[in-house]
Amino acid sequence: MDATTGAVHYHKLQVWEPGMESEEEEEEEEIAEPLVLSLRRLQNTPRNKVGGLPGAWARLLAGLLLLAVSSSLALRQLHSRNSPKGTVGSVAPPASRHSHRPGVYHHSAIISPAATCSQLGQELLVAGGNVVDAGVGAALCLAVVHPHATGLGATFWGLFYNSSSGNSTALTAGPTQILAPGLGLPTALPALNLLHAHFGRLPWPHLLAKPAMLAEKGFEVDAPLARALAVQGTKGLCPLLCRTNGTPLGLGARATNPNLAAVLRSAALASSPDLAGDALLNLLVRDLGLEVPSAQPMPALEPALRLLLPQGVLFSTPGPSAGPELLELLESTLHSRMSSSASCSSFLQTAETPVSSALATVDSNGSMLLLISSINSSFGSGHLSPSTGVLLSNLEASSAPSAWACPLILRGNLDDTEADMLGLVASGIPRGAEAMTCTLLDRLATPQIQQHPQHQDRQRPTESPGTCGQGVLLQAEVHAEHAHVSSVPRGCCPFQGY
């Protein structure tokens, strides 16, 4: 363009937004108009004529000024959009600043005996998994890091409440079977795979990835495992849980189990519950010089037992667990209106047998999973399978009920979609049904405001290590659209959530 061409008129760029105040528009016009006039005067100055400042430089300077004006207007409108007044299209309000006591979360929560496994459960929840994914993943993790209490050689019982369908389902192990005298038949992998296949959301291999990594790359010996090793010694456990000098690993030491990692990776490829445990069973019988049992009891999913109460409905596992005994005891106690004079903590005593492991997962919608497993004694049979890294249980075949297995869920009014939920599961308690009955009656007798006070202690619960023995009761709750997890004694089991 020739330098003698008439003045170029620059118009203010207006980014329209609903709700913009007219006063702001007028103010912006007053600011912009002198700039437009000054640009006209700039092009008419003698220096911008032929022989003065070249026209290209004038146009460049004008363009830069126009860019500055446009940027200023855009920034002003962005500031107005994010102002506290708000307009159509405003950003979401800032996150709530209210806080909760430890163990209370907006979405989902998990509590287990090992911090590593509670963390894994949280990761699965955040990744889009549901309470079944988190619970099964944490159970597989415990099979690696807590070989004294559970493992792939363990027997599992579970109780799952599905808030979407309103159904409660029991994972049943059936009567205990043996491979040989003193060596229980392992059913952990088929049981967990069955539960996940029906109710899980994430891919099955995703749940085994981190447990396999922990087994291969190593995990820290935590306080419960260190205590069990100090009592048990190293008989049958070397080299898995021993130092090079033959002494047991201590707190904070690192342990690996590469053969168990290989079993977990093989199980990740299983397409059915039957196949999930076949590879492990074939390796075990080869180690023991046995034949594969012709008839194997398989875990099953069954409708949970129900007991109607004025406060709602109770669910538990069918026989041969202790679920029927628990519901019968609760019904008779409530009918007679008897209250226990003894403290519930008296039932939480350390016992030599059965040694078991429990966990609980819950979400704020009301879905809940309680899992409990056992290898009977500490480190089970003490027989470590060389090719699998699995410790077999020493559960004996019998018709006696599994007294250690009696998970319990209390659902409030079935007609109320926002009714409170309470789940209880105990580990290492020889009088499990009595402990659960005592705890539930205490909860039913406690006013709701005392159970969930408005002003909670914001400090993380702490307990001295001596107060947390084998006997622990886990509690999972749903109240006011929040997920709650805790333990009795308080602070004995690590929890995570989001």
302-361 tens-digit pLDDT: 999 999 988 899 999 998 888 998 999 888 888 776 555 456 666 665 455 578 899 999
pLDDT at res. 462: 34
Q: List beta partners, residue 391.
A: 384
Q: Which two tokens stand for residue 156?
A: 């599992």
Residue for token digits 């707190």? 251
Instruction: Give one word for 24, left, alpha or beta, with left for phi > 0 and alpha for psi -120 to 50.
Output: alpha
Q: List beta partners, residue 373.
A: 156, 357
Answer whether residue 3 shows pLDDT above 60. Answer: no
Burial of 15 (0-12, 13-18, 19+ CB in 10 A): exposed
Q: Which two tokens stand for residue 316?
A: 């538990």
- The pair phi, psi for residue 368, each rounded to 5°, is -150, 140
Answer whether residue 34 shows pLDDT above 60. Answer: no
pLDDT at res. 47: 45
pLDDT classification of 490: cutoffs 50, 70, 90 = confident
Q: List beta partners, residue 308.
A: 313
Q: Which two tokens stand for residue 279?
A: 């590879």
Answer whether residue 96 shows pLDDT above 70. Answer: no
Q: Which two tokens stand for residue 489?
A: 């004694």
What average pLDDT does range 143-172 have in this prediction?
95
pLDDT at res. 380: 93
What average pLDDT does range 405-427 have in this prediction?
85
Q: Which two tokens stand for residue 179?
A: 């491979």
Q: Which two tokens stand for residue 222?
A: 């935590």
pLDDT classification of 167: cutoffs 50, 70, 90 = very high
pLDDT tens digits, one per residue of 214-266: 999 999 999 999 999 999 888 889 889 999 888 999 999 999 999 999 999 99
Q: What percent of the chain has pLDDT over 90?
A: 45
pLDDT at res. 83: 39
CA 376 from centroid of its chain's CA atoms? 26
DSSP H or E stretch at residue 100: none
What average pLDDT does range 433-457 have in this prediction?
66
Is 2 in contact with 38 (CB distance < 8 Å)? no
Is 378 in contact with 357 (CB distance < 8 Å)? no
131 or 3: whose pLDDT is higher? 131
Answer whether residue 99 shows pLDDT above 50. Answer: yes
Answer whether residue 440 shows pLDDT above 80. Answer: yes
pTM: 0.77
9 or 491: whose pLDDT is higher? 491
364 or 82: whose pLDDT is higher? 364
pLDDT at res. 80: 44
Answer whether residue 132 shows pLDDT above 50. Answer: yes
pLDDT at res. 62: 65
pLDDT at res. 402: 74
pLDDT tens digits, one per residue of 46-92: 444 444 445 666 666 666 766 665 666 555 554 444 433 332 222 33
What average pLDDT does range 151-165 have in this prediction?
95
